[in-house]
């Protein structure tokens, strides 16, 4: 078979419209958690990153021994000023036994779904069960998906938001109020987090920054820190990390890219898969401060790709790519050129 199923942007958008973003995120949350439970089976490596003055381009690979997956993704904070997305992505699944690709998908929308699902999965283990108010610092392209993920996981409907871009906040309100959320547009980050049980930070500038200071974090809060995702970029006051219980995806990667790059290399952290698998405690008590220092890891993308593949297989959401060269004689690749009717000229 030479054709590979392809889920393009339009197909992903139609899938989300068909099944509902919140329902997809809820189901994907379970899928991500399932793969975290079998974490030791996966190949794990920090993502391969190519940094420039304008941003970063990354490859994120992993395998469970039967299937292989990778994601190509960029992060260019200045793109919106040029009318471009900050993040774009696509991903591939393949068979380990043959190396043949089995699925190709856009992953700009899919990454937004998987990031929300991963955040929601972490919150199920780390946030207080009675959490009812979420503050969001940063209302860019991830924000609506995060809101839906936390409503699916914790039932949160009350949101307090802050962004330096007033248009981004207006966009967020316009998108989520019809979905049944109550939104308080704050006058500052400090105002946004006042009374919040969960704080999500998701800002784009790739620089050392402090968008959340220690005095703004009350006892019992869960912090979902998802904006710090490359060397030299942070969002949290390091003092928060010194008093909180910090949870990460894959420690070797997070030490390079996450909030914990701003503290000592031996500062204590717990990989989240150990909590999910019952090997380590999550939230200790109602007054503990917990931080999910999330930079995004390939296992989450693997879960999203396999989930999407199953969800859209056999539907009109999928198109096909003629991607695999398949001559009758596997050793005669050149035969495909002759079969194409291309006139071959002798060397002059």
> Which active-site residues does the annotation give?
229
For the beta carbon of residue 137, count every other beta carbon within 10 angstroms. 26
- The whole-angstrom separation of Cα 152 and Cα 170 is 23
- The whole-angstrom separation of Cα 283 and Cα 291 is 10
Residue 50, H or E segment: strand 48-51
- The whole-angstrom separation of Cα 269 and Cα 141 is 28
Task: List, in sequence order, every residue forming a beta bridge with 49; answer none if it has no partner.
Answer: 58
- In the structure encoding, which two tokens stand for residue 38, read together? 């079998």
* Structure-derived torsion over alpha carbons of residues 262, 265, 269, 270, reported in degrees to the nearest 10: 130
Q: Give the residue from 266, 271, 318 showing the smallest Cα distance to 299.
A: 271
Looking from the CA of 283 toward its CB, the CA atoms found within 13 Å total: 21
């Amino acid at each position: 078979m030479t054709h590979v199923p392809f889920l393009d942007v339009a197909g992903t958008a139609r899938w989300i419209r068909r099944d509902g973003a919140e329902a997809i995120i809820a189901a994907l949350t379970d899928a991500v958690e399932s793969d975290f439970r079998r974490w030791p089976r996966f190949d794990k490596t920090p993502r391969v990153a190519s940094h420039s003055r304008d941003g970063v381009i990354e490859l994120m690979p992993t395998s469970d021994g039967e299937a292989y997956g990778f994601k190509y993704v960029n992060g260019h904070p200045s793109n919106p000023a040029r009318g471009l997305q900050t993040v774009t992505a696509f991903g591939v699944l393949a068979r380990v036994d043959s190396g043949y690709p089995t699925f190709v998908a856009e992953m700009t929308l899919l990454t937004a779904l998987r990031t929300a699902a991963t955040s929601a999965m972490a919150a199920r283990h780390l946030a207080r069960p009675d959490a009812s108010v979420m503050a969001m610092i940063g209302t860019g392209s991830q924000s609506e998906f995060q809101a839906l993920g936390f409503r699916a996981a914790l039932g949160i409907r009350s949101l307090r938001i802050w962004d330096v871009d007033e248009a981004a906040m207006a966009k967020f309100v316009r998108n989520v109020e019809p979905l049944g959320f109550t939104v308080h547009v704050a006058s500052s980050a400090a105002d946004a987090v006042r009374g919040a049980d969960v704080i999500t930070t998701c800002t784009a500038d790739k620089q050392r920054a402090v968008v959340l200071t220690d005095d703004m974090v009350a006892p019992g809060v869960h912090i979902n820190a998802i904006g710090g995702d490359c060397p030299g970029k942070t969002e949290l006051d390091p003092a928060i990390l010194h008093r909180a219980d910090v949870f990460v995806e894959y420690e070797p990667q997070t030490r390079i890219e996450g909030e914990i790059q701003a503290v000592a290399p031996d500062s204590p952290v717990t990989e989240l898969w150990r909590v999910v698998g019952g090997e380590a405690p999550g939230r200790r008590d109602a007054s503990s401060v917990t931080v999910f220092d999330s930079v995004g890891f390939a296992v989450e993308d693997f879960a999203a790709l396999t989930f999407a593949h199953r969800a859209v297989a056999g539907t009109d959401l999928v198109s096909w790519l003629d991607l695999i060269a398949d001559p009758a004689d596997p050793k005669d690749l050149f035969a495909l050129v002759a079969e194409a009717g291309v006139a071959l000229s002798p060397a002059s």
